[in-house]
Amino acid sequence: MSGKKCFVIMPFGDKKHPITGRDINFDTVYQEFIKPAVEALKITCIRSDEVSKSGLIHREMIDLILGCELVVVDITTGNPNVMYELGIRHAAKRWGTIILRQAGADSIPFNISGLRSVDYQLDTPEQTEHSRLLLKTNIHNCLVERNIDSLVHTLFPGLNVTRRAQPCSERRTFVWSCPKAPHKKLCIVTGDILNVDTVDLWVNPENTKMQMGRYYDDSISSYIRYYGASRDRRGAVVNDIIFRALSREMGAGFVVEPGTVIVTHPGNLRRSNNVKAVLHVAAQHGEPGRGYTTIRSYENCVKNALDAADDINRGLLYRLGLKQPSKSIIFPLFGTRNPDDDPQLVALNLVRTAKNYLETWSNCTMERVYFLAWTDSDEELCLTAFQRLGLNYEGVEPEEEGKPEEEPTQSEPPAAGEAPHP
């Protein structure tokens, strides 16, 4: 669970309980109970008095309430500020909130009486240790199972209150091994795909007409098309290499079946990012006037792409101008932005399909399967999926600049006088 953050909502300092009259030192509760339990799971623990003391403290505090994977709330004494901040969290997040209260101190307020709380006792070292263990167990279950713990989202299951996803600022590679095939690795790489230069095969989620995105659209397809093309010094495309190769492969056909994979030359991505081939997979349906929606059998896109990767190594090496077999492949999280699907379930199914493929087919030639986490939301989806599938975490790899295994080749020389494709 390394890399996650927990925000703690609770009173500060010494407080007298309004009902029992008992003195409670909440700083001791935080330092000796909550913080050790959270940090034992390698989760960063933050309380609002540890946030910047600038005039933006309320903005920073609410940003943490909305953005942290985990929020722990101590409702002992029914502090109004605590209850207000709990309300913000429950409105924004369907899961990831743990409610604490000191055992026997008071009853839970009626409006949240149906929600589970963790009762703690700190009177003796034994009670403190037991309370820490209980909190750690609840944190682990909360982050892995992701069950709804908000009354708001229980009553309004389709509610979606979220902030704009933030692009990951740096490239990091998290590595897991498959329990039944430990020599096979499943990985998460964060950041822009254009910074990835150590993965042999790139998967491009296309539509069933294989119509690549326009140059300046914000999509994987657009990036692959534009940066795989030959461009002049002004950046204008003079040879739309990948688009033309895909069009030739499509031939006279206008539509392919969902999940179909077409392999093409990577164009200039071979030189810039060490890509050996691009696998275009029909992951979306298009409908005039209504845009694109993810196909229902989106998991087959992963399986079919892995099948195609094996075919490249077994029969298409020379056709693509390759001398060495490919060992790695990267998938974007296609389907997770479809408003009609649960993004966590989609991500889980994508990763599960790759895991099952690596573990089932002993003759699979792929050694590493990567999933691209472009934003912090993508990273959270991936990390949760990997944890739920019981993969063996091996750590974060140090980043090294990729080195091509062979001299780059060009299947089609740039046509300097050719007009850019629209």
Q: Does domain 5-155 have CATH number 3.40.50.2300?
A: no
Residue 109 CA to residue 24 CA, distance in Å, equals 19
Which is more confident, 167 or 109? 167
Domain ranges (residues) in the chain = 5-155, 173-397
The predicted structure's pLDDT at residue 143:
86
- Between 54-58, 76-80, 190-194, 232-236, the lowest mean confidence (pLDDT) is in 54-58
pLDDT of residue 321: 64
> What's the whole-number mean pLDDT along residues 358-386?
92
What is the average pLDDT across 266-288? Answer: 91
Q: What letter represents residue 114's amino acid?
A: G
Q: Which residues pair with 47 in a beta bridge?
A: 8
Give the pLDDT of residue 1: 56
Grade residue 32 by pLDDT with cuts at 50, 70 and 90.
very high
Q: What is the pLDDT of residue 201?
A: 96
More confident residue, 236 or 399: 236
Element of type H or E holding 118? strand 117-120
In percent, how much of the chain has pLDDT > 90? Answer: 55
**Mean pLDDT, residues 25-52:** 91
- For the segment 114-127, the average pLDDT, to the nearest whole number, is 89
Q: Which residue has the higher pLDDT, 384 or 276?
A: 276
| pLDDT-based confidence at residue 106 (cuts at 50, 70, 90) | low
Q: Which residue has the tokens 């940003």?
A: 63
Q: Could you tell me which of 87, 71, 69, 80 has the C-alpha nearest to residue 18?
A: 80
pLDDT at residue 181, as a whole number = 93
Position 184 pLDDT exceeds 60: yes
Closest CA to 226 of 195, 193, 265, 268: 268
pLDDT of residue 50: 79
* Bridge partners of residue 205, in order along the sequence: 281
pLDDT at 419 over 60: no
pLDDT at 38: 96
Maximum mean pLDDT: which of 110-114, 124-128, 144-148:
124-128
Query: What value does the CA radius of gyration of the chain take, rounded to a whole number of Å?
Result: 25
* 295-347 residue pLDDT tens: 888 899 999 999 999 988 887 655 666 678 899 999 999 888 877 778 888 99
Task: Looking at mean pLDDT, say which of 108-112, 170-174, 370-374 comes out highest.
Answer: 370-374
60-71 pLDDT tens trace: 888 889 888 899
Prediction pTM value: 0.73
For the stretch 82-101, pLDDT in tens is 999 999 999 999 889 999 99
Q: How far apart are CA 2 and CA 336, in angstroms?
A: 23
Q: pLDDT grade, residue 28 (50/70/90)?
A: very high
Q: Is the pLDDT of residue 121 over 60?
A: yes
Give SS3 for 198.
coil
pLDDT > 70: percent of the chain: 88
DSSP assignments along 297-338, one per residue? THHHHHHHHHHHHHHIIIIITTTTT-SS---EEEE--TTTT-
Q: Among the residues of 93-230, which ranges form H helices? A: 125-145, 151-155, 220-227
Residue 408: the pLDDT is: 41
pLDDT-derived band at 120, boundaries 50, 70, 90: very high
CATH topology of domain 173-397: Leucine Aminopeptidase, subunit E; domain 1 (3.40.220)
